[in-house]
Structures are given as structure tokens and as C-alpha cells.
Structure 1
Amino acid sequence: MDIVKLNDKNIEDEHICCAISDKKSQDGYQKKKDWLKTEFKNGYTFKKLNVRGKVFIEYVPIENSWLPLVGENYMVINCFWVSGQFKGKGNGKKLLEQCKEDAKAQGMDGIVAISSDKKRPFMTDPIFLKCQGFEIIDEAPPYFKLWGLKINPDSTFPQIMDSAKKGTCPNNEGITAYYSNTCPFTDFYTNNMLRKYAKEKNIPLEINHIKSKDDAHKLPIPWILNSVFYKGELVTLEMKTERHLNKLIS
């Protein structure tokens, strides 16, 4: 199967994989495409198999990454997803190889990716990263791990910014949410479902829309897609937060 690289010319005709079956997130789907158009100018890459399914990888030079990382001359994997019938067929390795080839072509020293202590929704599988030669190079509470793979053995690995190692958010009252349009799901679930939930439960709600790299670098955790806190503590990175909040609040 061929690999397609999205760009300014084909992005409106190509689907962006992850939201193809979620009709509720159509506005977020377009906002993600608009975000991609802007970030293409900063070296952002979105590659996918030429199929109608969730099988793609996104990456960007660390100098232009929205993840709160400090370092230079490394490629940062932003989102990496292989699901359904495309799993277990070498497609993940094939897409990762694309990232490696681009990093080498640009003279980069290696690749990094934020994941976790175990497989979690919307995060790259840490078992896969380990099998592909990545190692844990930094950590942040409560469970974030920065995985790295060197191309240049003499290079220095990037690190998570100290400001993103807090693990808690400043607001200790009610629910606090952070989201960005780097994911097509976040807009609907944050501004509709989460608002509705907070109103029904009569819980104070603060929503922070991450609109720039500078905003993202001020996050208290090294994650930009979506995060929900309750009384300052991280509850979930998933979009459907009701069951997580209900369990905690009850």
C-alpha cells in the first residue's frame, strides 16, 4: 500500500484518518486541517497509508513542536495511530521508518515521542516504541515518559520542560480542561460534552484552549491534545471524561 504525504494542495481532498467515522466532530475535523495547513510551513509532516482507516503518523522538528520539550535537532512524533484491520501487519514499523528517513535526510540526531507507563488511549504504544529501539529518557508525573531513539550516538537527548513536570494544574476548584486543535475530537468533547457535564453536576469549569506553541509550552504536563483535571489533579487524557469524573467525584 502506498504512503500519502499531506500538503497544502491535497489536504482538502484527503481524509485525516482519525475522525473519519465521528460525525459529531466535523467542525473539529476542519479545524485540525486548518491547523495542519499552518504547521506545514513549520516542517510538520502528516503521512498515512492510502486507505480509508486509522493508520498514520505525524511528526515535526523539535524546534517547532508544540510539546513542552527542550532540546535541538531531534524529530518529535506528535501522533501515531494504527488501528483495526491494519494492526499487526507491519504498518506501524513502515510509518516509523518514514519518520526515520526524514529525520536522517534533514541531518537530525534522533527521534523522541511522549508516551506513558503503559498503553493509553491517544498515546503511542510504549511497548511498540521499546521494540523499535526507543528508550525512556525522561519522565513527568503522574505517568508520562519521554522515549528517545538516537541516530547520532554522540548527541544529547531532549528533555521535558521543568514547567511540564508539575503533574497538577494551578486551578484547585472544580474541573479544568486543556485542549488544542491538534486533534479533531477535542473541540466537540470539550466545548459540548464537558460543558454539559459540568453544568448538570453544578461544578465550576475552566477551559483553556491552546492556540499556539507558546501556550503549549506553559502546560503543567507534557501533553497537548486533551487533558482534564479535577481540583488540580489529572483525571484523564481521554475525550469522553464522564465516567472518569463520576468515579472520582462520587
Structure 2
Amino acid sequence: MNYLRITKENIDKEHICCAMSNKQSIVKKEWLRKRFEEGLVFYRSEERGKCFIEYIPAENAWMPICAEGYIYINCLWVSGSMKGHGYSSDLLDECIRDAKEKGRKGLCILSSEKRKKEFLSDPGYLVHKGFSVADTSANGITLMYLPFDLDAKPPKFKECARYPKVEEEGFLLYYTDQCPFTYYWVPRVEAAAREHNIRFKAIHITDRDSAQNVPAPVTTYALFRDGKFVTQGIQSDKKFLALAGVKI
């Protein structure tokens, strides 16, 4: 398998794996374009499909974490026919090589306790690759890390992320354009909520400082209900209505 790094010079003509439709791709590409100067790397297979890794210096990550000196992996995704060929290891190995060359302390990434959850990395795979748990939020989302020096201080969640809660009644959603699927589904969930008179508020995070202070361990999509964290999984309109107890 050959791989390609997406840069500001080639991003307009290259696909970005996770967003095949035009409008989703444009929004995601614009988000990426603004992050390249902050050290973001998007590295993918030359073959078209979902096979890529996206990472950034943790100081610039849109995450409420304290991880100075680390690289934060936004997303490591291999799916479909590309699974089972060792491509995940190829992508992770390149990230490790790059991070060491840049003098970083190690890598960190979001995962979950015990089993794989949607839009989070597989904890079993990460443990297999040498990662261990650095911190855990009250809702079971973990921050895992791979230090290059055993004496390196582990990264951790900010307090707002370790104990996720809000004061808002009804549904409250924080989301960013980092994941292109929010562009498609959030407006549809908003419309479904209005149609069924469900109390729903969406907060679109558009800057790094706000993202680093979100009251949840995930910023791409963090859904609360009556103050309590519900899910990091991006909801379709039908899934949201089922979650809200509406029979269709």
C-alpha cells in the first residue's frame, strides 16, 4: 500500500477518505486547511477508501486535555475492504516515526473502557500496540497514551472533561466541523426536534479555545440530556428520535 500526505498544496484536488459527498468534503477540508499551520497531519492511503490517520500537537488539539509535548491523534480509521491488511499499523508507525522526529513525548488518543464504542478508537487494538490508560472520564471515555520515555508525565483530561455535565434542561449538543458527518446530521436532528417539540440546543464550536474547554471528553460530538452526558456517537434524525422516546 502506498500512502499520501494531504497538505494545503494538494487538499483541493485530493479526497479525504471520511467524506465522499461534495458539501461534507468542503466543510471538512476547510477545517483541515486552517489546522495545517498548527501542525496537523492528514496521512492516507493512495487507494480511495477509508484508510487514514489525522493527528496534531496536543497543545493545538481541539480537546479539553493537558498533554503538553504529546501528539494527539484525532482519528485513526481503516474500514471496509481495507481492514485486516495491517494498514492501521502502517499509519500508526508513520505517526510514531514523525512524532519522534519532532521530539514529542509520545502519542495520545481517545478510547473507551473495556469495549469499542462508535467514534472512539478500539481499546483492545491500542493495548496491543502498547498504549495504556492515562485518564478516564466519569462517563467511561478514556485518554490512552503511548510514551516514548517511560518517565514521561501522562496526559490527562481537564476537570471539565473528566466530570462531564451541563446545567441545560432538555438536549444540548456540542459539535465541531472536525467530523464531516456533523454537517449532514446536526441540521436534520434540529429539524426533527422542532417537528416533535423536543427541547434541543446545538452549540457549534468554531475555535480551539472553546473546544479546549468543552464540558465533555469529546468535542466532535457531545450530546447531553437534562445535564447528563448521553453519547459521543453522531445521531441520525431517526436515532435521535428513538433516544428521545418518540415512536415513528
Which of 149, 157, 161 pairs up with 1:160? Answer: 157
Task: Say if 1:36 and 1:247 are closer, same or farther in 2 by CA, change over 3 A.
Answer: closer
CA contact 1:177–1:190 (8 Å) conserved in 2: no
Deviation per residue, 1:80-109 (Å, 9 max, x gap)? 100011111100011000110011000111
Q: Distance in 2 between matches of 1:108 and 1:86?
A: 29
CA contact 1:167–1:233 (8 Å) conserved in 2: yes
Which residue does 2:98 correspond to in 1?
A: 102
Task: Output the amino acid matched with 2:191.
Answer: K
CA contact 1:80–1:123 (8 Å) conserved in 2: no
Deviation per residue, 1:105-124 (Å, 9 max, x gap)? 00111111011122112211
Deviation per residue, 1:174-219 (Å, 9 max, x gap)? 211111011111122112x111211122012211001111111121
Q: Which aligned pairs between 1:1-250 and structure 2 lie closer than 5 A?
A: 1-20=1-20, 23=21, 26-117=22-113, 118-171=115-168, 173-191=169-187, 193-241=188-236, 242-243=238-239, 245-249=241-245
> What TM-score, normalized by structure 1, do the two folds share?
0.93
CA contact 1:235–1:245 (8 Å) conserved in 2: no
Identity of aligned residues (%): 35
CA contact 2:166–2:224 (8 Å) conserved in 1: yes
Q: How many residues are treated as equivalent by the alignment?
A: 244
Residue 245 of structure 1 deviates from its aligned partner by 4.7
Deviation per residue, 1:13-43 (Å, 9 max, x gap)? 11110122xx4xx323211101111100000
Helix, strand or coil for the counterpart of 2:38?
coil
Residue 226 of structure 1 deviates from its aligned partner by 1.1
Residue 248 of structure 1 deviates from its aligned partner by 4.9
Residue 57 of structure 1 deviates from its aligned partner by 0.4
Helix, strand or coil for the counterpart of 2:175?
strand
CA contact 1:70–1:160 (8 Å) conserved in 2: yes
> What TM-score, normalized by structure 2, do the two folds share?
0.94
Task: Output the amino acid matched with 1:199.
Answer: R
Deviation per residue, 1:30-66 (Å, 9 max, x gap)? 1110111110000000000111100100011111111
CA contact 2:19–2:25 (8 Å) conserved in 1: yes
Q: Distance in 1 between matches of 2:82 and 2:95?
A: 18
Task: Output the amino acid matched with 2:178.
Answer: T
Q: Distance in 1 between matches of 2:205 and 2:18?
A: 20
Task: Output the amino acid matched with 2:185.
Answer: Y
Residue 166 of structure 1 deviates from its aligned partner by 2.1
State which drifts further: 69-78 or 227-236.
Answer: 227-236
CA contact 2:135–2:143 (8 Å) conserved in 1: yes
Residue 244 of structure 1 deviates from its aligned partner by 5.1
Q: Distance in 2 between matches of 1:164 and 1:245?
A: 26
Q: Distance in 1 between matches of 2:156 and 2:119?
A: 21
State which drifts further: 177-186 or 162-171.
Answer: 162-171
Task: Output the amino acid matched with 1:13.
Answer: K
Task: Output the amino acid matched with 1:9.
Answer: E
Q: Distance in 1 between matches of 2:170 and 2:158?
A: 26
